[in-house]
Amino acid sequence: MSESVVTTEKKPQAGKGEPLLQVENLKKYFPITGGVFQRRVGDVKAVDGVSFTINRGESFGLVGESGCGKSTIGRTLLRLNDKTDGKVTFNGQDLHSLSKSEMRDMRTKMQIVFQDPFSSLNPRIKVGEAIGEALVDHGLVSRRDVKQRVIETMKICGLAEYHYDRFPHEFSGGQRQRIGIARALIMNPEFIVADEPVSALDVSIQAQIINLMSDLQSEKQLTYLFISHDLSVVEHLCNRVGVMYLGTMMEMAPTDELFSNPLHPYTKALMSAIPVPDPTVKRERIVLQGDIPSPANPPSGCKFHTRCPMASDICKQQVPEYRDMGNEHFVACHFA
């Protein structure tokens, strides 16, 4: 493929803006109940002390495998879940200390696009209403002007005016995802959490949605938290990337730095596990042994030590420090 491949050149460095969202030592535990009386017998430590900052105008990627807590972070920082501990600051305000009505106003500024375009739309509500209802409910636009606004937004998202009166089941996955994006976008938010927005879509449709999202970002100066299990999508779309494993941030760096110089063995393994669509490339790949441990009972020390090809005794006993390696590159590994 002789496309204009940009390997070294960076995307416009938007990461230099002021911080929009700060997550400090966020923890989210889900209780496990058991026994006859449904007593709490343990915790699933879905998110276990994660910190990061997202600057205005950048897109921050969170990558990891199932059970690493990336989706829980997205939901907790939008307060769709309660937190267990830690602090989320948005525009200088501590989100989890806001009252219900303050939070309701705040929701116009921060939105989410869900993974499953099928279950994230109410099957009994027409598309036009689904997109516009929040505007009306928040009293942002008068009832008369809503339709106009909805249709404008639908067009921006690549939908046609005649889609207004249709039901979600009449649309394909890709179109539904466009509806989901329009619904988030109509409030003119500053920040959007995109929770695996393309992983339920076909390849050719994935590319459409990814392009749409990056167009919208540059047009509207949006800030994204982009959650995905697919490193290649994240590399394409994000300025900075955090790699998570079992509720902990393992490595975080600007995209180009991370992909050219991965320091954590887990990041390296993830990168080498992705099949490359080129049969002539026969790489020596790092195949991780074993399964992902359960977040209810994570390994001691470094959570990755059970599968790590470099693991030694210190990894079993000591939690590695999350260190700054320079170049905004952070890593939690004894050997980095």
Query: Using CB under 8 A, which residues numbered 162 to 181 contact another protein?
Result: 166-167, 169-175, 180
Closest CB to another protein among residues 292, 323: 292
Q: From the CB of 314, what's the least distance to another protein, in Å?
A: 23
253, 328 Cβ separation under 8 angstroms:
yes
154, 185 Cβ separation under 8 angstroms:
no
- Residue 78: CB atoms within 10 Å: 21
| Binding string, residues 232-261; x marks residues near another protein by CB under 8 A | xx-xx----------------------xx-
Q: Among 36, 280, 284, 313, which residue interacts with another protein (rule: CB under 8 A)? A: 280
Identify the bridge partners of residue 29 per DSSP, sorted by sequence position: 45
Q: Does 142 bind another protein (CB under 8 A)?
A: no
Identify the bridge partners of residue 24 per DSSP, sorted by sequence position: 87
Give the DSSP per-residue string, 146-203.
HHHHHHHHHHHTT--GGGGG--GGGS-HHHHHHHHHHHHHTT--SEEEEESTTTTS-H
Q: From the CB of 303, what's the least distance to another protein, in Å?
A: 14
237, 215 Cβ separation under 8 angstroms:
no
Q: Does 82 bind another protein (CB under 8 A)?
A: no
Closest CB to another protein among residues 260, 318: 260
260-279 residues in contact with another protein (CB under 8 A) are 260, 269-279
Q: Does 118 bind another protein (CB under 8 A)?
A: yes
Identify the bridge partners of residue 225 per DSSP, sorted by sequence position: 60, 193
Closest CB to another protein among residues 142, 162: 162
Q: Does 99 bind another protein (CB under 8 A)?
A: no
Q: From the CB of 322, what's the least distance to another protein, in Å?
A: 22
Q: From the CB of 259, what's the least distance to another protein, in Å?
A: 6
- Residue 199: CB atoms within 10 Å: 14
What does residue 52 show for φ and ψ, rounded to 5 degrees? -165, 165
CA-to-CA distance for 20 and 77, rounded, in angstroms?
Answer: 13
Q: Does 123 bind another protein (CB under 8 A)?
A: yes
Q: Among 210, 296, 310, 319, which residue interacts with another protein (rule: CB under 8 A)? A: 210
Q: Among 94, 152, 161, 202, which residue interacts with another protein (rule: CB under 8 A)? A: 202
CA-to-CA distance for 94 and 73, rounded, in angstroms?
Answer: 16
Q: Among 14, 98, 141, 292, which residue interacts with another protein (rule: CB under 8 A)? A: 292
